[in-house]
A and B are shown apart, each in its own frame.
Chain A
Amino acid sequence: MTGLSFWSCGQASSDASLAQRKLVVVMLRGAVDGLSVVVPYAEPAYADSRSSTALAAPGAEKGVLKLDSRFGLHPSLARLMPFWDQGALSFVHASGSPDSTRSHFDAQDYLESGTPGRKSTADGWMNRLLSTMPGPAAPTRALSMGATPQRIFAGAATVANLGLGPRALDAKVIDEPRMQAALEKLYAQDGNMARTYKATTEGRSEMKRSMANGAMDAGADKGAASAGSFAADARRLGNLISKDRQTQLAFTSVGGWDTHVNQGGALGQLANRLASLGEGLEALAQGLGDSMKDSVIVVLSEFGRTLRQNGTGGTDHGRGNVIWLLGGALAGGQVLGDWPGLDARALVDGRDLAVTTDFRAVLRPLLQGHLGLGEAALAQVFPDFSGSLQGKLLRSA
């Protein structure tokens, strides 16, 4: 899990190019079944453990889409295969948190605080990242999409907030100058609210300006699913990131992965969720447009699910999962990570895929090589952690 990766030799890109780099994190809340996302079809234990939920090998009807001799992608994620073929999609299998909790809520908390096992950490790692990234601060440098605050962005640095739905940036009362003058005075009494208020007005005016700047392509939402879908929101997010030259960090989350019952295989509940997620990631990439070449999208989830399906056609809480990496900045087309196998002896507690790569060992080299963080900054984002995934994650340093 440790080791020297090639970019730690250090030649950073020019500052101008660093400022174009983007990192988008998509968190799948509820623990997606990673063994159904990147399927170890070559392992006999896989099909043996899943009588009604195993996916067929590549080439078979409704079989997985072949990634390499060991792994295949869920057929519902076919939209992502062009990225794989172009070298813009990688996976890190058997990855996750070193903390062994099978509580959704603790595990998500650790993934977002960046300090597994330590509950007292008040801020989130993406907020620490925002405060330590090289380059000047800006109101929309980091963007959180969704109605509510996200743990991963908790902290001192100001994060802009994009609401959900097509009307998120429509004119609101809070955008009116007369109202703003009055609210600014009102909120001056209360430090925390004053800060949030400033983030509201500055963020909204920046985002509106960016979106007005070369208005959205007429056809941008064409072909997308319903306006309220994740795909539509993701496309908007991508578009905003690419138009606002200041935005470098973004986060959003998608729920509905806790498939204890009737998970399904190539068709069914999980297949449907994955299809809409795949559509969303494709839309995000389309929204990013040219910026996709400077982007890394990380998709991760709090833990994986049991190897064996349970008594109700689903899977229960497990350990190791797969991290998805999408973007033009990647040296894609690889399933990375140290695959521990599914033999009885390799399973944690006799039931779960082991975690052989700490999620921070995937993120740390990305922050270093892609966003240009130095050692001191890295130590702030992920304190007391220095691991780094073996292998070439990024296309170039």
Chain B
Amino acid sequence: MITRRQVIAASLLPLASWQTASGQATAPLSDQERALHALNRLSYGPRPGDAAAIASQGAGPWLEQFLASQLEPSKLALPQTLDQRLQGFATTQLSQAALIGRYREATQANQAAQRASGPNSNDSDTAAALTKARRELVRPVLVEASSARLLRAMDSPAQLEELLVEFWFNHFNVFAGKGQVAVLVGDYERRAIRPHVFGRFRDMLSATARHPAMLIYLDNFQSVAPGYQPPGRQVNPNAARLTGLNENYARELMELHTLGVDGGYSQRDVTELARMLTGWTINYRAALSGSQGDLFVFDPGRHDRGSKEWLGQKVESGGKSEGEMALDLLATHPATARHIAFKLAQAFVADQPPPALVQRMAARFTATSGDLKAVMQTMISSDEFWQRESFGSKFKTPYRYLLSTLRALDVSDVQDIPPLMQVLAQAGMPLYGAQTPDGYKNVEAAWMNPEALAQRVQFSAKLAERRASRTANADGDTAVLLGLPMFTAATRASVAEEPAQLRTALLLGSPDFMHY
């Protein structure tokens, strides 16, 4: 047996250089480092103004104030320019009915174009008419939703709120490429996600379960009791002929939204939950009559009234309350607490999050009945969050890379958003474009590859070149970047040896900047 004394003695042997390295690897973060870490992890990256504020206030006081304010986003007013920009996005003010109306109009225009074209017409004319309707009616809704998301992420002082909107949208992912979801993603984010990111998990779960975007994306709006006979004419002509269950939402509700894949449910539980959720659908009649409110409706005629057995308990026939009971149970299940805690810790702390931290966050989730602000507080006040191993250890996703680049160069109020959407799409991370319900991963293994490096270096170099061509001072951006705290001495020294016109791109392409 090796004694503790022997271990200590052995560790003293390699002497100075080893001790220094080891000391650095475990030393607590300095105040400066903590401030940078906070900006990296709790915002989309430092801006020049942040560096200036840290310098003038001192890192310690700045950090204390930053952390407190990030957890109280309602007290952080949006800058006027951003606020005005957001107000100007007309489609973000539309009701769900009006949004669906636009989609319907585009579909009808398409059908009219197809009818008019006839067998001998020019195909390219038809195709042009098809894309015109989408371009004019559907595309602007998606572009405005994307603009609002990206501009807020760039310029909102409530940065943690924006990170959490991204996180929770991704957790409850819907895909803009699926039918009417194209016009609903913005409304989904505004109503089902954003209001709850510092609120209760149960409320967000409920809001996503009822939102037309989720009901369409995972098909529950069409899932009906076996043998269902629709009353009269189908209101939505594009709907499938409904004859029974669709278990898509029920499965992902347990696997992805709550319990997690190893949460201890069976195929039978999936089917039974799908039965319990029959009748949770969209009120398309209200949509047609231009209702201003939410379009969710529970339709008892579609509901499977039989008794069910789900997760080992008998479920009495209770209409809508069966689904509510299911959401209650899932929201408070210990497997859900673990699953949510793991995902948050993986996104904010480390690709392989420390198990003890996950456990404490899960315990806090359970103790507070899913108070998401409390869970974030536990995480941010943990030793694990601030440990050196975590510092600069995560690899940026394309989304974070794009935003952190713009923030580092103090770009704000970007007028032309589609080129940014294109950058994300090319990198394999189109905004609102994750096709599958698990959303995007946020670990290095999912994003670091040769194509990513080639694209990031390309983006940085072209951005630097364009900006340099517009100003007399080509070195301005390099100076701005070097004022930021994330570049190591080695990177600074290495970049200083290179030609001036490459330096901005090299800093943005450096390992220091690709990580956070």
Residues on A lying within 8 angstroms of B by beta carbon are 29-30, 52, 101-106, 144, 146-149, 151, 154, 160-163, 165, 168, 172-174, 178-179, 182-183, 185-187, 189-190, 192-193, 196-197, 199-200, 203-204, 255-256, 258, 260-262, 310-314, 316-317, 349
> How far is it, in angstroms, between the C-alpha of A167 and the C-alpha of B226 when the chains are bound?
50
B427: chain A residues at CB < 8 Å are 147-148
Q: Does B369 contact A (CB under 8 A)?
A: no
* Known contacts A173-B462, A255-B435; A149 and B447 CB within 8 A of each other: yes
- Would you list 11 pairs from A and B whose C-beta atoms are within 8 A, ordered by A residue? A52-B241, A103-B255, A105-B436, A163-B454, A172-B458, A173-B505, A174-B454, A179-B457, A255-B435, A313-B240, A314-B219
User: B428 contacts A312, CB within 8 Å?
Assistant: no
Chain B, Cβ-Cβ closest to A200: B450
B446-459 vs A: 1/0 string, CB under 8 Å?
11111111110110
Residues in B with CB closer than 8 Å to A313 are: 240-241
Q: A179-B461, A261-B219, A311-B223 are in contact. Are A148 and B240 (CB under 8 A)?
A: no
Q: A189-B490, A311-B224, A311-B245 are in contact. Are A148 and B436 (CB under 8 A)?
A: no
CB contact under 8 A between A310 and B435, given known A186-B510, A189-B511, A200-B453: no
Closest B residue to A105 by beta carbon equals: B438
Residue B298 is within 8 A (CB to CB) of chain A in the complex: no
B267 within 8 A of A: yes
Residues of B within 8 A of A179 (CB): 457, 461, 502, 505-506
Besides A151-B445, A185-B497, 14 new A-B residue pairs in contact (Cβ under 8 A), listed by A number: A102-B267, A104-B438, A147-B455, A148-B429, A160-B450, A179-B505, A196-B449, A197-B453, A200-B453, A203-B450, A258-B436, A261-B219, A310-B244, A312-B240
Could you give, for residues 191-223 of chain B, a 1 whenever the CB lies within 8 Å of some chain A CB and a 0 otherwise?
000000000000000000000000000010011
- Across the A-B interface, give the 8 residue pairs with the lowest CB-CB distance, nearest first: A311-B244, A147-B428, A200-B450, A313-B240, A161-B450, A190-B511, A173-B461, A148-B428
Choose one: A165, A183, A255, A261; the contact of B509 (CB below 8 Å): A183
Using Cβ atoms and an 8 Å threshold, which residues of chain A touch B255? Answer: 103, 105
How many residue pairs, one in A and one in B, have C-beta atoms under 8 Å apart?
A: 161
Q: How many residues of B contact A (CB 8 A)?
A: 58
The answer, yes or no, to whether B495 is at the interface (CB within 8 Å) is yes
Of B4-12, B27-35, B246-254, the one with at least 4 CB within 8 A of chain A: B246-254
Asked whether, in the complex, the Cβ of B510 is within 8 Å of the Cβ of A149, the reply is: no
B residues in contact with A261, CB < 8 Å: 219, 222, 240, 246
How far does the alpha carbon of A30 sit from the alpha carbon of B177 in the complex, in Å? 15
Within 8 Å of chain A (Cβ to Cβ): is B310?
A: no
Taking CB as reference atom, which chain A residue is nearest B491? A186
> Is residue B19 contacting chain A, with contact meaning CB distance below 8 A?
no
- State whether A204 touches B450 (Cβ < 8 A): yes
B242 at the A interface (CB under 8 A) = yes
| Beta-carbon contact of B245 and A186 below 8 Å | no
A145 nearest CB neighbor, chain B only: B451
Whether the Cβ atoms of A30 and B445 lie closer than 8 Å is: no
Q: Is the CB of A172 within 8 A of B454?
A: yes
Contacts of B106 in A (CB 8 A): none
CA distance A311 to B245 in the complex (A): 5
